Amino acid sequence: MNGSERPIRIVLAKLGLDGHDRGLRIVGRMLRDSGMEVIQLGLRQTTDTIVAATRDEDADAVGLSMHNAGHLTLVPRMRRALDDAGLDVPLVIGGIIPEQDVATLLEQGVAAILGPGASTEEVVTTIRGVVLRDEVTG
Amino acid sequence: MDGDQREDGFETMSGIPLDAVYGDGPLPGEFPYTRGLYPSMYRSRLWTMRMFAGFGTAEDTNARFKELLRSGGTGLSTAFDMPTLMGRDSDDEWAVGEVGRAGVAIDTVADMHDLFADIDLSQVSTSMTVNGPAAILLAMYVATAEDHGVPRAQLSGTLQNDILKEYQAQKEYIFPPRPSMRLVADSIRFTTAEMPRWHPVSISGYHIREAGSTAAQELAFTLANGFAYVEAAIAAGLVVDDFAPRLSFFFNAHIDFFEEIGKFRAARRIWARWMRDRYGARDERSLMCRFHTQTAGVSLTAQQPEVNIARVAIEALAGVLGGTQSLHTDSFDEALALPSERAARIALRTQQVIAHETGVTNVADPLGGAPFVEWMTDEMERRAEAVFAHLDALGGGSMLEGVYQGIDDGYFVEEIADASYRFERDVNAGRRIIVGVNDFTEGDDHRAELLRIGADTEDTQLKRLDEVKRHRDGVQVDATLATVTDHAGDPTRNLMPAIIDAVRARATEGEIVHALELEFGTYTERAPS
């Protein structure tokens, strides 16, 4: 994977039953406008469909939008599923994550968490940063 | 002056006596109800202070309900968890991590019993915010009440049951649009015949707005959906004046104060005119756009969350000046988590301040006649009528078909996504200030005490479900589910009685959904562009 030769490719999805997709749609457009290639899976995805898309699309990162308070269960599952498939790509979480859960999720292998009100610049810079860091260290 | 007002005389804080209404007609209570549905509005009766609550197990939510009733809340409103809203049982593989998280988990009628334990269902009005599987939750509520000796005819409340906006905005659909509308029509027919105090559909703009629409889109899409339900019920053989008096609406109260007030006033006028002129309604109650209002969750900020108390107060005031019949005020911590008990109490107290301290309830439609307010009302109506013309053309003269078409071709979803992106870009560019987010950001150092849902909720609920399944008659469950599937395949039958039988046999919500899916199929949205 080399971000300097081609645009960053990111898979975006909602994992599970939660239907709040406003943030996912906005972030998708933000990232596309910034020049990234966005593979937008949309609603009701499973760890399997996200792993498959990440592999098939040779994505550099996965972004999950969480608004259902299920992040402590679902996010570690997602990280494990990516690891089990040998996909060493950063996992970025957006949405409503209470501050006291941030450290836990970061310890469990989440690369970055973007809270409500994150600006376009913050979102784009964060994703570029974690993809780049991943390339340097990985 | 009518004699049933809350006080003998109304006066200002300084003792100046006040009339019930000022200005020219049409007055409040007169067609087209722009100025309000009733002549003396809140002088006679305050709005219902209906606080939405639900989390964890049915017992957890039951305790919160009782606390809200003790604090002066006057109606109940149930938030279900995501698996329940999507028709999935707590032991479904899709439910992992979501049981009891964003609302209360309900799998069987046994949970419904616990949810309303020690609450007299003949006295309290209950709102249930559920759409895809609404008919099943209604069946559970009826069975619960009847087990407690309260006949269904005495039950008072509201089922959201507004499936159209799910395809447009909230995305909690199960079946495809047309069979879903069959379920809505069946529940309208059932409650019209057997539950005269029940509101079978709450036509909701709230979620359309939260998904990012403008105020005018919220108004237009919601009323268009309302017309679609009216056409669907008429097509199912009902007479408009038999069911229309029980339709109600649910709007968002966002932060742009006068735009919101214009929206509420326009909604009443449009509904009255369309119901009379297009659908031939004659009963005055069929012409009345009754609505519940909730302050805008999406306007709340995670940064400096206490500032949200001010936002909620302003939005709630817009709802009251817009003439709402009932109101939920959001808790200041809702951009962070489900409301804590303390935050929910402050939100209710905010309504009580508006009702009892501000004096805005002393006069009906106190803003009526103000040039800007009247202009904004007209402008909202103009914008909504342009959308109706588009949908009517799409549907070849049928609003119902126009709405189906707009769902099929992504019209609603794209319009809302475009509006929400425009808003976001304005915030990003600093053209729109959100206090504490992109300006005035210093001082975000206080941490709110948040509601935590324990991990044991899921285990507790799974045990309860397993217990119910082990103590029921499997043969009876299978037989009632087979009848549900059978009736789903026969559009001449009303599905409600078969669903009530299945609920009574302790069939789970997920099992009944599956029985319907065998005939109805499921719906999947195209991935966003």
pLDDT in tens, A52-105: 999 999 999 999 999 877 899 999 999 999 999 999 999 999 998 888 899 999
Tokens, residue B443: 């001082």
Residues B7-18 have pLDDT tens digits of 888 999 999 999
Cβ of residue B165 closer than 8 Å to a chain A Cβ:
no
Distance, in angstroms, between A137 CA and closest chain B CA?
32
Q: Looking at residue A137, what is its pLDDT?
A: 62
Region B432-451: mean pLDDT is 85
Rounded Cα distance between A71 and B452, Å, is 13
CB-facing half-sphere around the CA of B60: CA atoms within 13 A: 27
Residues B50-69 have pLDDT tens digits of 888 888 999 999 998 998 88
Give phi and psi for B347, each to the nearest 5: -65, -40
Rounded Cα distance between B269 and B271, Å, is 6
Rounded Cα distance between B298 and B205, Å, is 13
Contact between B302 and A21 using a beta-carbon 8 Å cutoff: no
Rounded Cα distance between B25 and B41, Å, is 15
Nearest residue in A to B433, CA atom: A117
Enumerate residues 43 to 62 of chain B having a beta carbon within 8 A of any beta carbon in chain A.
Answer: none
Chain A contact set for B338 (CB, 8 A): 69
Q: If DSSP codes are grouped into helix, strand and coil, which group holds residue A121?
A: helix
Region B224-248: mean pLDDT is 97
Distance of CA A22 to the CA centre of its chain: 15
Tokens, residue B150: 């309260």
Tokens, residue B296: 């805008």
Rounded Cα distance between B509 and B497, Å, is 15
Contact between B101 and A70 using a beta-carbon 8 Å cutoff: yes
Region B77-100: mean pLDDT is 94
Is pLDDT at B110 greater than 90 in this prediction?
Answer: yes
Is pLDDT at A2 greater than 50 in this prediction?
Answer: no
Best probe of the A interface among B308, B421, B522, by most A CBs < 10 A, is: B421
A45 beta partners = A15
Q: Looking at residue B446, what is its pLDDT?
A: 66
Is pLDDT at B393 greater than 80 in this prediction?
Answer: yes
Q: Are A93 and A64 a contacting pair, CB within 8 Å? A: yes
Region B353-373: mean pLDDT is 97
Q: How many CB atoms lie within 10 A of CB A58?
A: 12
Q: Which residue has the tokens 């599952």?
A: A77
Q: Looking at residue B68, what is its pLDDT?
A: 84
Domain boundaries, chain A: 20-118
- Percentage with pLDDT > 70 across chain B: 99
Distance, in angstroms, between B244 CA and closest chain A CA?
30
Contact between A116 and B526 using a beta-carbon 8 Å cutoff: no
Q: Are B215 and B256 a contacting pair, CB within 8 Å? A: yes
Within chain A, what is the greatest distance between any pair of CA atoms? 38
Tokens, residue B41: 């509005």
Is pLDDT at B529 greater than 70 in this prediction?
Answer: no
Contact between B171 and A98 using a beta-carbon 8 Å cutoff: no
Is pLDDT at A3 greater than 60 in this prediction?
Answer: no
Rounded Cα distance between B299 and B310, Å, is 11
Mark A10-31 as b/e (b = at least 16 C-beta within 10 Å).
bbbbbbbbbbbbbbbbbbbbbb
Q: If DSSP codes are grouped into helix, strand and coil, which group holds residue A43?
A: strand
Region B249-256: mean pLDDT is 98
Region B170-177: mean pLDDT is 96
Best probe of the A interface among B90, B98, B412, by most A CBs < 10 A, is: B98
Rounded Cα distance between B398 and B385, Å, is 15
Q: If DSSP codes are grouped into helix, strand and coil, which group holds residue B147?
A: helix
Q: Looking at residue B1, what is its pLDDT?
A: 42
Q: Looking at residue A4, what is its pLDDT?
A: 56
Burial class of residue B94 in the structure, from the number of CB atoms within 10 Å of its CB (0-12 exposed, 13-18 middle, 19+ buried): middle
B129 beta partners = B79
Contact between A16 and B98 using a beta-carbon 8 Å cutoff: yes
Tokens, residue B207: 């979620």
ipTM: 0.85
- How many helices and strands in chain A, by DSSP H and E? 5, 5
Q: If DSSP codes are grouped into helix, strand and coil, which group holds residue B285?
A: helix
Enumerate residues 190 to 249 of chain B having a beta carbon within 8 A of any beta carbon in chain A.
Answer: 210-212
Q: How many CB atoms lie within 10 A of CB B421?
A: 18
Which of B67-71, B152-156, B258-262, B430-434 has the weakest average pLDDT? B67-71
Tally A–B CB contacts below 8 A. 104
Rounded Cα distance between B64 and B345, Å, is 11
A10 beta partners = A38, A61
Q: Looking at residue B189, what is its pLDDT?
A: 96
Q: Looking at residue A99, what is its pLDDT?
A: 83
Q: Are B206 and B252 a contacting pair, CB within 8 Å? A: yes
Residues B280-337 have pLDDT tens digits of 999 999 999 999 999 999 999 999 999 999 999 999 999 999 999 999 999 999 888 8
Asked if the A20-118 domain carries CATH number 3.40.50.280, the reply is yes
Is pLDDT at B381 greater than 60 in this prediction?
Answer: yes
Enumerate residues 271 to 310 of chain B having a beta carbon within 8 A of any beta carbon in chain A.
Answer: 298, 301-303
Query: What are the CA-CA distances from residue B132 to residues A119, B180, B307, B410 (Å)?
Result: 34, 7, 35, 19
Is pLDDT at B43 greater than 90 in this prediction?
Answer: yes
Nearest residue in A to B526, CA atom: A42
Peptide bond before residue B28 is cis, with ω within 30 degrees of 0: no
Nearest residue in B to A20, CA atom: B170
Q: Are B79 and B52 a contacting pair, CB within 8 Å? A: yes
Burial class of residue B502 in the structure, from the number of CB atoms within 10 Å of its CB (0-12 exposed, 13-18 middle, 19+ buried): buried
Distance, in angstroms, between A138 CA and closest chain B CA?
31
- Percentage with pLDDT > 90 across chain B: 87
DSSP for B286-349 reads GG---EEEEE-GGG--SSSTTHHHHHHHHHHHHHHHTT-SEEE---TTTTTSSPPHHHHHHHHH
Q: What is the 3-state secondary structure (H, E, C) of B150-197?
A: CCHHHCCEEECCCCHHHHHHHCCCCCCHHHHHHHHHHHHHHHHHHCCC
Is pLDDT at B389 greater than 60 in this prediction?
Answer: yes
Is pLDDT at A1 greater than 60 in this prediction?
Answer: no
Nearest residue in B to A118, CA atom: B437
Distance of CA B167 to the CA centre of its chain: 16
Region A16-27: mean pLDDT is 91
Instruction: Say which DSSP state A4 is in.
Output: T
User: Over chain B, what is the mean pLDDT?
Assistant: 95
Q: Are B131 and B164 a contacting pair, CB within 8 Å? A: no
Is pLDDT at B434 greater than 60 in this prediction?
Answer: yes
Go through the domains of chain B in sequence order and give each one's CATH number: 41-408 (3.20.20.240), 458-520 (no CATH)
What value, to the nearest 5°, has the Cα angle with vertex B14 and ends B11 and B15?
40
Contact between B210 and A22 using a beta-carbon 8 Å cutoff: yes
